[in-house]
């Protein structure tokens, strides 16, 4: 089942979509406007965190598809950014779960994110990688593991919430 998302509710749609689909495995395919070149990006151990709208003033300039990143200063990484989005299509499986979202730009370029299964280990893995990154930034000095972990948990939770508020 496919459904086109009206432009006037994109922001609301993304909040709901992100809340329902964070930490699912994902693969993003980008097809150029001539339908000749295709690039597929598998997020692997990077969790899908959400989709976000880029604005230029009051106008929608782009749509970002974002994954988690271990850098504590920037926990999200826009994996694909679609400039000048024109159309968003949501696909659900037979049970009503989100399966894929396709964003089409005005020039005909398309990006499709296919969602895999939710992985309950991905949130903990992201916290672990962020805490380890903080540990390494301090020069690998022992004694602050618990503080690093709590700080990493807090940063990851704040980042998750940024996609659903």
Where do the domains of the chain lie?
A: 2-162
pTM recorded for the entire structure = 0.90
The residue ranges of the chain whose pLDDT is under 50 are: none
pLDDT digits (tens, 9 = 90+) for 67-106: 999 999 999 999 999 999 999 999 999 999 999 999 999 9
Hey, what are 23's tokens? 């930490």
Asked whether the CA dihedral 46, 85, 21, 35 is positive or negative, the reply is: negative
Residue 34: per-residue pLDDT: 82
- Interacting residues of 120 by C-beta distance below 8 A, sequence separation 6+: 23
């Amino acid at each position: 089942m496919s459904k086109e998302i009206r432009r006037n509710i994109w922001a609301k749609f993304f909040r709901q979509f992100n809340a329902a689909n964070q930490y699912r495995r994902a693969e993003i395919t980008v097809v150029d406007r001539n339908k000749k070149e295709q690039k597929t990006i598998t997020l692997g151990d990077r969790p899908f965190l959400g989709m976000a709208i880029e604005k230029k003033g009051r106008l929608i300039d782009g749509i970002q598809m974002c994954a988690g990143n271990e850098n504590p200063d920037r926990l999200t990484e826009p994996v694909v950014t679609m400039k000048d989005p024109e159309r968003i299509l949501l696909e659900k499986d037979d049970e009503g779960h989100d399966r894929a979202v396709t964003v089409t730009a005005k020039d005909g370029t398309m990006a499709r994110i296919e969602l895999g299964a939710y992985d309950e280990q991905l949130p903990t893995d992201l916290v672990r990688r962020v805490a380890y990154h903080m540990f390494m930034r301090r020069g690998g000095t022992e004694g602050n593991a618990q503080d690093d972990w709590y700080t990493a948990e807090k940063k990851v939770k704040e980042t998750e919430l940024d996609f659903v508020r």
